[in-house]
Amino acid sequence: MPSPTRAFITSTDSWPMTTEQAEQNYLTKGAPTPPRLVYSMQQPPFRSPRYRFWRRLRRHKLGMLGLATLTLLVLAAILAPIISGHDPAAIDLRMKNTPPSGDHILGTDAIGRDVWARLVYGAQVSLSVGLVAVTIYTTIALLLGSIAGYLGGAVDNVIMRITDIIMCFPTFLLIITVAAVLPPDTYTIMIIIGVFGWPGMTRLVRGQFLSLRGQDFVVAAVAIGVPTHRIIFRHILPNVIGPVVVAATLGLAGAIMTESSLSFLGLGVQQPASSWGQTLTTAMQLPILEGMPWRWLPSAAAIAFAVLSINFVGDALRDAFDPSSKLG
């Protein structure tokens, strides 16, 4: 607690003064009695951890910018049937490769489909794939990491060795291999990314449990006979949520990039459905890349803005969860 604020009042002065001013006044004016010491106890207002978290989050300017951008993308995906203006699968060969105009604000593709409609409907696919995939591998990581970190011993060795084996192989190469074997659709991509994305977060959760299981509150819970599952999920896991939320947020950007890459390679979302990565396949042709930027630039910009905004939000959450952050 900070030291109390000290103010001095002399017999001839009615305003509080600092220590140096009071001593100088006493010596120069010859006051008959020393100045009275008045303590003004100014306690700082109580701020809950939740309040301090939101205050640090709001002070992160890039994080707020990223959150605003991500909110706009999510709203565009939710309101796609209202704001699209056209059916994303409707073909009009008379309007093929039309540049942006009043009727088609982002132009049309090679078979006359509206680029804006396919962009906002593609946001539904790309964002939902990322969200579901991250939810899957976060659940797996929380389960395996908490068990390995708390129980230790042989259980920890088995789980960590399996994790190490999976991490020996390039994750994207494994995803491509499995995606090439299974039928390519949205749900398959969600499951594949979720199944192969858990090893890194599992190690994070395990490390957090290893550092927390020796804390006094955990030792006390064990001493009074609290069941193991309650200690894991009630006492330790809430203290791990902060780093996990940050990792999951950053993982969402990676999942969107993975889905876009698979769709670009033809292993992800298939026609006539739309996704951001699938739209970029048209940029493989040089005439389109140079002469028809409306065919690929909106999807490329959407991927860039989504990934950047999610990374900004992840950085803001990391600083907000850190009590020693300069954001206060």
* List of E strands, the chain: 5-9, 36-40
Q: How confident is the model at residue 10 (pLDDT cuts 50, 70, 90)?
A: very low
Residue 19 is predicted with a pLDDT of 53
CATH 1.10.3720.10 fits 51-321, yes or no: yes
Q: By the 8 A CB rule, do 125 and 269 touch?
A: yes
**Choice between 308 and 237, residue whose per-residue pLDDT is larger:** 308
Q: What angle do CA 307, 309, 313 make, to 5 degrees?
A: 115
Measured CA to CA, the distance from residue 317 to residue 322 in angstroms comes to 9
Q: By the 8 A CB rule, do 303 and 276 touch?
A: yes
Residue 50 is predicted with a pLDDT of 77
Q: Which two tokens stand for residue 297?
A: 């630039």
**Choice between 252 and 8, residue whose per-residue pLDDT is larger:** 252
Measured CA to CA, the distance from residue 130 to residue 53 in angstroms comes to 26
Measured CA to CA, the distance from residue 117 to residue 88 in angstroms comes to 5
- Tell me the domain boundaries of the chain: 5-40, 51-321
Tell me what percent of the residues of the chain surpass a pLDDT of 70: 84
- Alpha carbon 53 to its chain centroid, in Å, reads 15
At residue 6, the 3 state secondary structure works out as: strand
Residue 40 is predicted with a pLDDT of 46
Per-residue b/e over 92-115, b at no fewer than 16 CB within 10 Å? Answer: eeebeebeeeeebebbbbeebbbb
Average pLDDT over residues 181-197: 89
Lowest mean pLDDT among 8-12, 56-60, 230-234, 283-287: 8-12
Q: By the 8 A CB rule, do 73 and 305 touch?
A: yes
Q: Which amino acid is at 26?
A: Y
pLDDT surpasses 90 at 56: no
**Mean pLDDT taken over the chain:** 83
Measured CA to CA, the distance from residue 245 to residue 242 in angstroms comes to 5
Count the alpha carbons within 13 Å of 111 in the hemisphere toward its beta carbon: 9
* Alpha-carbon distances of 315 from 247, 256, 264, 275, rounded to whole Å: 10, 18, 28, 27
Residue 46 is predicted with a pLDDT of 58
pLDDT digits (tens, 9 = 90+) for 85-114: 888 888 888 888 888 988 889 989 888 899
**Choice between 197 and 32, residue whose per-residue pLDDT is larger:** 197
Measured CA to CA, the distance from residue 130 to residue 17 in angstroms comes to 62
- Alpha carbon 11 to its chain centroid, in Å, reads 61
